[in-house]
Amino acid sequence: MRDHVTPRRVVIIGGGFAGLFAARALRRSPVAVTVVDRRAHHLFQPLLYQCASGILSEGQIAQPLRKVLRRHPNVDCLLAEATDVDAEARLVHARRPDGGALELPYDDLIVAVGMRQSYFGHDEFAVHAPGMKTLNDALDIRRRLYRAFEMAETAADAEERRQWLTFALVGGGPTGVELAGQIREIAGHTLDREFRTIDSAQARVLLFEGSDDVLGAFGPHLARRAARTLRSLGVELHLGTLVTDVGAHGLTVRDRAGTTTRFAARTVLWTAGVEAPPIAAALARATGATQDRAGRIAVQPDLTLPGHPEIRVTGDVMSLNRLPGLAEVAMQSGAYAGRAVRHAVEGRTKKPKPFTYRDLGSAAYICRGRAVVKMGPLHLSGVLGWFVWLFIHIAFLTGFRSRLGAVLSWAVTFATSARRERAFTSSGGVPRDRPPRRT
């Protein structure tokens, strides 16, 4: 029997959009909330590519979790990685950065761990083709992008120079399209007349996509508009291709006819596919929950797991009605889970309504003054789409400083093509957040 003095313990795994909105929904509840995340910051993932390309700084897209939740006296933040769940004992097992173990008891568990980059069974590709899911990834990509131009300037021969000035991106979703557009703007405008040996505008950007369209989720009309804009920028689209090998000097792809082609490129970036982190499989084993091919956990309409009404799975890692992995889905599902716990604590006996996602649209930025936006039946592109994209991202950036800083940075970049955040380390790499796959 619970001690009436002890508040109900709520553990939230993950400090992304879903975890943050769940914690905020519980701010006035008589519960003790623990947010556990392997990183000490909340990251605005949709703008990672702008950090990677030098428009925004790390501080403009990432805020310390403790600062974001400082006005929530019932919320505590722990820097640790959740490794396992004991559903019977209601314990979350976690590992501190120094390897020390933690045990977090819970009465309610909200899982909001998101997804990580997937290489479709070829994790060896990650060494040569970084993904973009974390702040470390963005800084690694920034280093590779700007370093490539520096290496081309001192290349020994024309062939090596061509390889350094060739950038290959795998995946034609929003991240791939946005990053491809940014690289072309860097090459054609930002670095214009900065080099003496090379012409940065001659850089090639190759975008490989397995389907017949880029931005396929936006519908055929916007997909065609996006493809036309990319081609006008000089991006070379290779649709209907699958990557079969990635190395330090390029990648190999196979088209639908079975023809294999090798492309020489010293910079390969991976923006295709996601998979659930290991904690999702651990939770599935502990509860008997089912997972889809990407590892997402199937949930009931109220986001709980069958037989475990105290566990709710939210955001990208949940599988429900084919909902997309969008920030808006994470925000709404996290808030829903937090409210459900709050209502239970308040003793409301009425069964909560099933979770319903309100589609507020999707947006992808391609280049200055060009974006595509899908909001229900409303499809926008070009300058109007860009203004809507701008409003959406300003509205959802966390913190006044982030919003003001982003607006100022965008104003400078859009007006002058200058990018203030071009600093990078020339030797070594940024530590990777992705652990090696256990076999």
Beta carbons of 241 and 253 less than 8 angstroms apart: yes
Separation between Cα atoms, residue 46 and residue 325, nearest integer Å: 11
Separation between Cα atoms, residue 268 and residue 266, nearest integer Å: 7
Q: Name the catalytic one among 81, 178, 209, 421.
A: 178
* Helices vs. strands in the chain: H and E counts, helices first: 12, 25
Beta carbons of 45 and 329 less than 8 angstroms apart: no
Of 272, 285, 161, 177, which Cα lies nearest the Cα of 226?
177
SS3 150: helix
Beta carbons of 90 and 107 less than 8 angstroms apart: yes
Helices 382-396 and 400-416, interaxial angle, to 10°? 150
Indicate the Cα dihedral angle 28, 33, 35, 40, nearest 10°: 70
C-alpha distances in Å from residue 40, one per residue of 58, 93, 113, 309: 13, 18, 14, 29
Separation between Cα atoms, residue 40 and residue 49, nearest integer Å: 20
Separation between Cα atoms, residue 390 and residue 73, nearest integer Å: 33
Separation between Cα atoms, residue 83 and residue 118, nearest integer Å: 19
SS3 38: coil
Beta carbons of 352 and 302 less than 8 angstroms apart: yes
Separation between Cα atoms, residue 43 and residue 242, nearest integer Å: 30
Q: Which residues pair with 207 in a beta bridge?
A: 169, 237
C-alpha distances in Å from residue 87, one per residue of 55, 79, 93, 134, 282: 44, 22, 11, 29, 10
178 is catalytic: yes
Beta carbons of 220 and 193 less than 8 angstroms apart: no
What residues are labeled active site?
178
